[in-house]
A and B are shown apart, each in its own frame.
Chain A
């Protein structure tokens, strides 16, 4: 159980276009999902916390107009990179907390990641 999927796993796009990445919790409900970015040989960097039915909370330095997050249901959050530039090329990973376990454990289940390359 506790599987998180991401789609696509890999995407190449041209500079100036927008890319949408989906994050789904497959067998549990997630009121809270997280979006991370990871550059090569670096650690996870939290971009934003996504709450179902409300606006996302962005970390300092993350442009909310560039990285649009929508968490419309208990099993789906999307990250849209708008007007992508080569410096946005990175590995984007989402994670989710099981709504029913949230009071018991702080465990986060991670998706497999999406590798974005902007040319």
Chain B
């Protein structure tokens, strides 16, 4: 079983729609989760991070963690064409290793 799984999409929505991006993870010990955004032909940039369960809001973006089901979500309200990018969830290192594990990424296209 992969440590983190993410639907690759692509996901196409009209401008102004609410977008839901999701990942599942396997290790119930994880407490720290991240979402990165990657525009085409650019390096990823950290969008949000969250500890433990619950919601974290930043502008139009909300990160949600459901530890009971090992499910993490990123919601984008009032989506804009500029939100068109690939979104990657990420989980922290485990087992003494340094590397962060990234999901495969979901490609989002917001159509004007």
User: Residues of B contacting A115 with CB < 8 Å?
Assistant: 41
For the complex, give the distance between the alpha carbons of A91 and B32 in Å. Answer: 28
Check B105–A43 contact: CB distance below 8 A: yes
Within the complex, the shortest CB–CB distance from A52 to chain B, in Å, comes to 12
Given A43-B105, A112-B43: A49 touches B98 (CB 8 Å cut-off): yes
A residues touching B (Cβ–Cβ < 8 Å)? 4, 6, 32, 34, 41-44, 46, 49, 91, 93, 95, 105-113, 115
Give the number of residue pairs across the A-B interface with Cβ within 8 Å.
47
17 further A-B contacts with Cβ under 8 Å, apart from A42-B104, A106-B34, are A34-B99, A43-B88, A43-B105, A44-B102, A46-B99, A49-B99, A91-B41, A93-B44, A95-B44, A106-B92, A107-B46, A107-B49, A109-B46, A110-B36, A110-B43, A110-B44, A111-B43
Check A32–B104 contact: CB distance below 8 A: no
Interface size on B, residues (CB 8 A): 21
User: Residues of B contacting A93 with CB < 8 Å?
Assistant: 43-44
For the complex, give the distance between the alpha carbons of A108 and B36 in Å. Answer: 10
User: Residues of A contacting B36 with CB < 8 Å?
Assistant: 110
B residues touching A (Cβ–Cβ < 8 Å)? 32, 34, 36, 41-46, 49, 88, 92-93, 98-100, 102-105, 107
For the complex, give the distance between the alpha carbons of A105 and B100 in Å. Answer: 11
Within the complex, the shortest CB–CB distance from A25 to chain B, in Å, comes to 13
Check B41–A106 contact: CB distance below 8 A: no
Identify the closest chain A residue to B32 (Cβ). A106
Which 7 pairs, one residue from A and one from B, show the smallest C-beta to C-beta distance? A110-B43, A43-B104, A106-B92, A110-B44, A93-B43, A113-B43, A43-B105
